[in-house]
Structure 1
Amino acid sequence: MIYLLEIDPVDPSTGQVVTLRYGSAGFTTWPSDTPSNTWFEERIVDPGNYERFMFGRSRTRGESDVGGGDIQLANADGALDFLLNLAFDGRAFRLYGLADETAAWASRDTILVGTMEQVEFPSRRVSIRIRDRLALLRDTIQTQTYAGTTISGVAGGVEGNKDLKDVRKPLLFGRAFSIPPVLVDQFNSIYQVAANPLTGIFNVSAARDNGVLLTATSDYPTLAALKAATLTGGQYATCLALGLLRVQTRPSTLTVDATEGATLADRSAARIVQRMIASAGGTSAADFNALHTANPAECGIWTGTHETTILSAAVEVLASIGGYLTVDRLGVYRVGRLELPTGPGEVVLDETNILGGEAISRQATNDDGDGVPARSVTVQWGRAYTTFSEEDLKNVNATDAYRAFAVQEWRLAKVTSAANVTLHPKGPELVFDSCLCNETDAMAEATRLLAIYAARRDVFTLQVAADEIPTVDLGDVVTLAPNRFGMAAGVPARVIGLTPTLSTNITEIEVWR
């Protein structure tokens, strides 16, 4: 096999993409190919290795690690020194495999699609650092900031005063409670809940002043109409299209419950993340549909005014239902939910194809508790983005239910394994944050997680020839059947890590069960 590489850095002097092509052997496309009569210069000395994990090495939850590796090009003659002056960060690359130099370009296999970080020049080589497309999600989720130009009640729109200049505007996805909206026009007492359109301020506890319920009036389509609205003390009006709320009297501490997403079905973890990463392109609609079906529970997240990356926000939402976000080798964003492995695997891995015969290592997970059976699982849900002390609410006309809600940031859904309390007295008591909105959904997820973590969980690492697992990807189930650890009859295991080394055609595979 020969390897062919296309890279798309930008020439800073022109601002244009420059597509460069290299191969592990010289290769020219045919006149009938697209692109036609195109030369791949023989430069690849090591097509590299490349790590990808469902979450991170030996982990089954938390933020997804950005996969990475490097590709080595020959540069003994210094002919590639010009690469130093090109911009590589965030630019695309495509690595292909071809049977040999005489094969048709159309017969190529796509081995990897991703982005580049930078180039280095170790001795007589060029090293191209590559990353998967998760790296593109490390951009901030909100690029808009306040201008700080609202200096009167008629000028400057709703951009806040100079103290808000360059502060990021908040975003809301799904449903959230006790949001502290941002004062964006102090002259007209206008606040911004979120810079993206809202579907509605919901239920009777929509807005409160230091815990005191305010009365909703009307929603207005424009900022001008909102400013012109007639209000009395204790009332508020909205411009949901702009995520704005106006009160008559400046509140002491204003909190708002709000929703984004037209219907309940639009506020599942899958649908929220689908909207979050839509601009990045290259998503699997089938994956998002399947994840929504697996758990359509209502979720919500408010970003506030601090900087948050797309990846961090998406992972926070997905973690609510045990979900993950990865990128496949073709550069497509994939989502799913961590489940216990069941059924026959896609391939059987035993002494006939595990390199070294029965060379397999077992290690504890890198999760909290290190894979020791858990005594309990607690899912935190219904986050209050603003909390009060009991002293704050002492003289407030509020219900007991609201008082109990307002003094706690989180509500808790806890399930306990009575057997493990006795059998594993030092077992972990796991706590999971979530963006879930309802207790029933949180309790269901806690019960599901306890079924996973109440038993010992193992991670096994082994090496196989890459052509033994040509279609195996993260999240797939394989049958593990080495004559070790009582697995000779075959047990299902889920793939949580893949590290192919292309120069040797060997893949290290990490599985969990």
Structure 2
Amino acid sequence: MPYLMRAEPYDASLGAVRPLYFSDIGFTSEPADSPSNTYFVRRIETPLQVRRSLFDGTAVGGYSETSFGNATLANDDGALDWLVDLDWDGRLVEILYTPKERPTLADFSVLFSGAAEQLVLGDEIEIQLRDLLVLLDVPASRGQFGGTGGIDGTAELKGRDKPWLIGRRRQIEPVLIDANNNVYMVDPLGYSALLAARDMGVSYPASVGDYPSYDALVAASITGTNVATSKAAGLIRLGQKPAGRFTVDAEGVKVSGAWIYRFADLVRHLVTSMTTVTGASLLDASFTAFNALQPAVLGYWCDGSSVPKVRDVVDQLADSVGAFWGFGEDRLLSLGRYDGPAGTADYEFDARDIIDLTPRSVARRMKALKLGYRPFGVTFTASDLDQVNVTAADAEAFQNEYRWTAVATDAAAAAASLLATEDEAKTLFDAEADAVAERNRRLGLYAAKRKAFDATVPLIPGLTVGNTVALTDSRYGLAAGWHGLVLESERNADDETMKLTVLG
């Protein structure tokens, strides 16, 4: 069946991308098409082999999996050797497909839309493919200190990444940027609120004022145990040097004048402020829906001493709320949550459609779960604390990395399954009630008895991970139909099939 490829590698000689068009059997677009009157050169050998996953096998968690694969072009005559001179990494590659034998361009559907990893030259050119999550494999950074003094930090800070804060975090150590004036930085983009400030665990009095800039903050008269802020500049100033470790509880950056703390809003900020992905590349409906689904307060703090990748930060946030996320064939970043298969299937397959059906193992049932919440940025030893003035409750709390919910137990799973697990997980929730709600949601899902299958079905554009499929077969208790969520798909354009890993 016909396949088309559209690629946009960068041509340094042009200072722009160079659109390239290939096909497997030869194809020319019509005058009204876009692109118009364009011949798609007959060069495709392997149209597409690609794997895309939500999670790892049948284990359900919040971590993204980048899809990967390849497509190949015939180059026995060396006519495409010049392609190696172009820059391919991160550039658009799109594969289109139609089952029609005499199609128009409008008959083609997008089978894969992602980015090239690299091009490997040979008699058969391999274009290694990744989805657009590779664009998030960049440092989660607000930039580095220049070391010129003042708000730019001292010479000792030159080259170190600046700290940043999103959502709400407790017991974090802001970065000292001006020792002479006792000025500390939380986030160069500003922060919303200073909830508490402590020296060796002992609280300072409330802030004596908020100033619009670094210059105004250092010009103010602040003495003794007084604390002042410049929230707009992301700064805190102390009236005197602390006796020990200086820590704060704070609420992070504002966006469009409003403090952000929900998962979807934090992801939007990270992606659009720290990567080349713009707001136009986000599926807004999924972000809006997730805000309503999960409005809990989360938080993430980076002190700049080591810098994670943006994708790793989003993964940690996603793991807290049980989210999956990634780019679809529409090249838009979307969010979702595993709540089991949907009641209405996106696609249905019966014995006539299913080429192969193989049961696979599933993770053990869960009988008990507790979640950690409200992580402290730093934990103290007894010697870090002011043993005279710190309260007993604070002294105990500050020495623990997390607070924990009570253990919840599913009696049915415990009675039925002798190998059911007792699990715990750490999250970035700030409030106990939110952690409890997530604990109960997860336990309800993972305590249930589940099935999983590998199902090979005909290649269908649009069918992807996150979809619910209905499988009907005389075997394996599927005679009345069964719904499962697609966790992984492997597309093989050579034989026009898809292998789906389905969990329900």
Structure 2: distance between partners of 1:350 and 1:264: 50
Which residue, out of 457, 464, 485, partners 1:464? 457
Structure 1: distance between partners of 2:386 and 2:184: 26
| Counterpart in the other structure of 1:209 | 199
Structure 1 residue 485 displacement after superposition: 2.6
| Counterpart in the other structure of 1:226 | 217
Structure 1: distance between partners of 2:392 and 2:371: 24
Q: Does residue 1:26 correspond to 2:21, yes or no?
A: no
CA contact (8 A) 1:373 1:456 kept: yes
| Counterpart in the other structure of 1:479 | 470
* Structure 1 residues 183 and 394: CA distance shift in structure 2, 3 A: closer
| Counterpart in the other structure of 1:290 | 289
CA contact (8 A) 1:372 1:457 kept: no
**Partner deviation per Cα, 1:393-416 (whole Å, 9 max, x = no partner):** 352423333223211110111312
Structure 1 residue 381 displacement after superposition: 0.5
CA-based RMSD = 2.1
- Give secondary structure in 2 for the equivalent of 1:483: coil
- Give secondary structure in 1 for the equivalent of 2:3: strand
What is the TM-score normalised by the length of structure 2? 0.92
CA contact (8 A) 1:378 1:412 kept: yes
CA contact (8 A) 1:27 1:101 kept: no
Structure 1 residue 499 displacement after superposition: 1.4
What is the TM-score normalised by the length of structure 1? 0.91
Which residue, out of 187, 195, 199, partners 1:194? 187
Q: Does residue 1:317 correspond to 2:317, yes or no?
A: yes
Which residue, out of 219, 222, 226, partners 1:235? 226
Structure 1: distance between partners of 2:451 and 2:220: 62
Structure 1: distance between partners of 2:17 and 2:142: 24
CA contact (8 A) 1:175 1:299 kept: yes
Which residue, out of 265, 268, 271, partners 1:277? 271
* Structure 1 residues 373 and 332: CA distance shift in structure 2, 3 A: same
**Partner deviation per Cα, 1:425-461 (whole Å, 9 max, x = no partner):** 5432222221100001101111111111223433311
CA contact (8 A) 1:226 1:237 kept: yes
- Give secondary structure in 1 for the equivalent of 2:36: coil
* Structure 1 residues 447 and 98: CA distance shift in structure 2, 3 A: closer
| Counterpart in the other structure of 1:131 | 130
| Counterpart in the other structure of 1:405 | 397
Which residue, out of 262, 267, 275, partners 2:261? 267
Which residue, out of 367, 373, 378, partners 1:381? 373
CA contact (8 A) 1:94 1:114 kept: yes
Structure 2: distance between partners of 1:310 and 1:170: 14
**Partner deviation per Cα, 1:209-268 (whole Å, 9 max, x = no partner):** 111211211111111101111111111111111211111212221111111255998311
> Which amino acid in 2 is paired with 1:360?
T
Which residue, out of 359, 362, 384, partners 1:361? 359
> Which amino acid in 1 is paired with 2:160?
V
Structure 1: distance between partners of 2:200 and 2:15: 53
Structure 2: distance between partners of 1:170 and 1:80: 47
1:13-412 alignment to 2 at 5 Å? Answer: 13-97=13-97, 103-122=103-122, 124-142=123-141, 144-150=143-149, 157-202=150-195, 206-215=196-205, 216-251=207-242, 252-260=244-252, 262=254, 266-278=260-272, 280-281=277-278, 282-305=281-304, 306-356=306-356, 359-364=357-362, 371-393=363-385, 395-412=387-404
Structure 1: stretches of 5+ with no match in the other structure: 151-156, 365-370
CA contact (8 A) 1:265 1:296 kept: no
Structure 1: distance between partners of 2:12 and 2:66: 26
* Structure 1 residues 54 and 463: CA distance shift in structure 2, 3 A: same
CA contact (8 A) 2:354 2:456 kept: yes
* Structure 1 residues 200 and 265: CA distance shift in structure 2, 3 A: closer
- Size of the alignment, in residue pairs? 493
Structure 2: distance between partners of 1:80 and 1:57: 38
* Structure 1 residues 229 and 425: CA distance shift in structure 2, 3 A: farther
Q: After alignment, is 488-497 or 386-395 more displaced?
A: 386-395
- Give secondary structure in 2 for the equivalent of 1:293: helix
- Give secondary structure in 2 for the equivalent of 1:375: strand
% identity of equivalent residues? 31
CA contact (8 A) 1:4 1:98 kept: no
- Give secondary structure in 2 for the equivalent of 1:219: coil
> Which amino acid in 2 is paired with 1:126?
I
| Counterpart in the other structure of 1:154 | none
Structure 1 residue 421 displacement after superposition: 4.4
Structure 1: distance between partners of 2:417 and 2:102: 62
- Give secondary structure in 2 for the equivalent of 1:286: helix
Structure 1: distance between partners of 2:18 and 2:467: 37
**Partner deviation per Cα, 1:309-357 (whole Å, 9 max, x = no partner):** 111111111211111112212221111111122424233333221104x
Q: After alignment, is 423-432 or 57-66 more displaced?
A: 423-432
Structure 1 residue 119 displacement after superposition: 0.7
**Partner deviation per Cα, 1:290-315 (whole Å, 9 max, x = no partner):** 11111111111112211211111111
